[in-house]
Structure 1
Amino acid sequence: MIRTSFAFQTDNILHGTAFGQETLVRIGFMNPTPTPKPIPMELESTSPYGVSWDKKRTVKMVATSWLSKYWVIWLVIAFIVFETTSQPALAAMFACVKVGWDDFSLARWLFRIDPHRRGAVLRSAVFVAWGFGKIALTATLVMAATIVVMDMLRWAGQPWLQLIRALWGALVALGIGLTISGLVTLYAVLWAWLLGQKLYVGKAVSLAREGNYWPPVETEARWSLFERGGNRVSWLLALTWLLTLGFGGAYLQTKFVQQFPNRILVRQKASPWILALAGGTILGYFYLGRKVIATRPEECWALPDWVDSLHPLDGDPDRMDDNSLEVDTYLEGNQMPSKAKAYPPSLS
């Protein structure tokens, strides 16, 4: 269990520990007028994880950006590998992997920042699954483009066989991306269902990272057949269902081929089982989706309840007296266990 303690004072300075780090945070109240994006607050911290709260239940967190230098290193390594090996297959694989790199970095950032440790692993895992899903999609596009170029070169009488290696590289990236994406999604969804957690993959997390604030807030509300409130976990569930149906159907087909040599008889015996597999899995994934897919980011990341109970009070910040507000709350589920003795900041 994580225990976090804070001491609020009327001089708007917060001293305490957060996530095992010593922090010094300046507290202030924001204009209650709704704004599309949280306004940055004045904040000081001795660690990269400083936190502060406002009246709109928005937490601000300082986190250093580390993505840019890794992009440069990645491009340099990709160029060196291609120049030294002259392998189109490696070039195709690098092109596919680079597309999912930003989602992998978001998963790492979310795992480090999310204070709800029980759900941090699962919510960062779905970003990993989304990154591998994008790798598989990019590999499919690379394969289609390679086949078109090969056909054009063949009709023009130009050498085209060397592009087969690029096709194999994209095929390997496709297989790895689909397999890992499906397995990680299934792992995250099942554990989220068992633990009562919600999952979210969307633009709100990347905007929170770029804007240096926490938690992620809803940026737009939209509803479609495949996307609930901008959440792409439903796409991952659809991909996992297709993989389950494909692997399950192939297994049933192989099993019946071994028992019945006649192809017509195999189809007659295997078809009801494949239809039952398709119907059962789609109902199961639909049920899981209703349980674990968050309609907005606030369902995954919320402030502790005791933040709402802090009100402006008059009192001496140097001593604890009747004007102090004592909160001793141990929260379950998505809420962070906490204990606070507070002198809330004054509005004056």
Structure 2
Amino acid sequence: MDYEAVELLEQEAAERGRRRLFIWSALLALGWVIYELTAQPNLGVVIVCAKFGWNDARTAWWLHRRDPKGARGWACFWFYLASGLWKMAITAVIATFAVGFVAGILEQGLANGRQGRPNPQPMPPWFPGACLTALFGFLLSSLATLLALWLAWRHRVRFWLSSSVHGYRRRDAWPPYEIDWIPANQGGRLLLTAVIVIATPIIVTLSILLGAALVHVFGPAGIAVCTLALMVVVPMLLLSLREALKRRFIATVPWQCWSKEEVEDAYALENAFE
């Protein structure tokens, strides 16, 4: 990567920091206004969580619109949209656990102060909204990932998921990577989430049916076998499935998703106008 590109990336990072401060201030103010006007704190928490997935959703649409290969553009659209939904869900999960942790500390502290039984602390009014955002966020992210994988299987696409693509979207530069600068591919987390959300109920159901058959044949020993299968075999199957999907659908370098020829054509076009 040349010095001009590095300087441009540093300028973009500084501008993003200033914009992020303004956006967060405006977002918190908007959440408060929505709560005051509608008395619906759940709506406010959904909006705050959506902010974390907004960049991925915008990049998803940009990839669909900008990619010269329509099928690949649609596959990447669904994959990046799944990433945005995943970030919404994980934000809600963090908020949920943080509230539970703080509530537990407050409850214990009040109990120690009164030297009596702790009284349960009421959950904040937006807590149900955070739980539902996490639930539906992971579910919709998994469904979007499945659709992306199906399109990738049909059209021989491998995915490259990185926050660095947002910078290329802001500059409307194609293809969205540099040959001599390779960030980490974050696509594996979507595969793991989809495998857990979708495959786990299927595997657990099959394990229960198998356990019922073993109990009928071997008696109480069948329960031990079924429990061992749920604790050891099922996680191994899920991780193996995730690794198999990763080898097939996740790129190790960006040009496995967007070909090197597109970079060379872009450089040639840029040099032609210099």
**TM-score computed with the length of structure 1 as normaliser:** 0.58
Q: Which of the pair is proportionally richer in helix?
A: 2
Aligned counterpart in structure 2 of residue 107 of structure 1, from 57, 60, 76? 60
Rg larger in structure: 1
Q: Percent same amino acid at aligned positions?
A: 22
Structure 1 residue 211 and structure 2 residue 171: aligned? yes
User: Which residue does the alignment assign to 2:2?
Assistant: 35
User: Which residue does the alignment assign to 2:49?
Assistant: 96
Q: Distance in 1 between matches of 2:163 and 2:53?
A: 15
| 1:156, distance to aligned residue in structure 2 (A) | 4.8
3-state SS in 2 of match to 1:203: coil
Structure 1 residue 151 and structure 2 residue 115: aligned? no
User: Which residue does the alignment assign to 1:181?
Assistant: 141
Q: For residues 219 and 267 of structure 1, do their structure 2 counterparts lie closer, same or farther at Cα, with a shift above 3 Å needed?
A: farther
Aligned counterpart in structure 1 of residue 248 of structure 2, from 291, 297, 309? 291
| 1:264, distance to aligned residue in structure 2 (A) | 6.4
Structure 1 residue 300 and structure 2 residue 260: aligned? no
Contact preservation (8 Å) 1:256, 1:266: no
Q: Distance in 2 between matches of 1:281 and 1:155?
A: 38
Alignment of 1:19-30 (within 5 A): none
Q: Distance in 2 between matches of 1:82 and 1:206?
A: 31
User: Which residue does the alignment assign to 1:235?
Assistant: 189
3-state SS in 2 of match to 1:197: coil
Structure 1 residue 167 and structure 2 residue 120: aligned? no
CA-to-aligned-CA distance 1:226-274 (integer Å, 9 cap, x gap): xxx5111112112223334532344235546777698864442464477
Unaligned runs of 5+ in 1: 1-33, 40-66, 223-228, 312-343
Q: Distance in 2 between matches of 1:120 and 1:187?
A: 13
Alignment size in residue pairs: 248
Q: Which of the pair is proportionally richer in strand?
A: 1
User: Which residue does the alignment assign to 1:43?
Assistant: none
Q: Distance in 2 between matches of 1:174 and 1:151?
A: 21
Whose relative contact order is higher, 1 or 2, with alpha carbons under 8 Å and at least 6 apart?
Answer: 1
Q: Distance in 2 between matches of 1:87 and 1:155?
A: 29
| 1:280, distance to aligned residue in structure 2 (A) | 4.2
User: Which residue does the alignment assign to 2:239?
Assistant: 282
| 1:219, distance to aligned residue in structure 2 (A) | 7.5
Q: Distance in 1 between matches of 2:193 and 2:228?
A: 22
Q: Distance in 2 between matches of 1:162 and 1:290?
A: 46
| 1:276, distance to aligned residue in structure 2 (A) | 5.1
Contact preservation (8 Å) 1:36, 1:219: no
Alignment of 1:306-345 (within 5 A): 307=265
Contact preservation (8 Å) 1:92, 1:142: no
Contact preservation (8 Å) 2:49, 2:92: yes
User: Which residue does the alignment assign to 1:56?
Assistant: none
**Superposition CA RMSD, Å:** 4.0
User: Which residue does the alignment assign to 2:15?
Assistant: none
Q: Distance in 2 between matches of 1:170 and 1:292?
A: 31
Contact preservation (8 Å) 2:207, 2:226: no
Structure 1 residue 135 and structure 2 residue 88: aligned? yes
| 1:216, distance to aligned residue in structure 2 (A) | 1.0
**TM-score computed with the length of structure 2 as normaliser:** 0.71
| 1:183, distance to aligned residue in structure 2 (A) | 1.9
| 1:283, distance to aligned residue in structure 2 (A) | 3.1
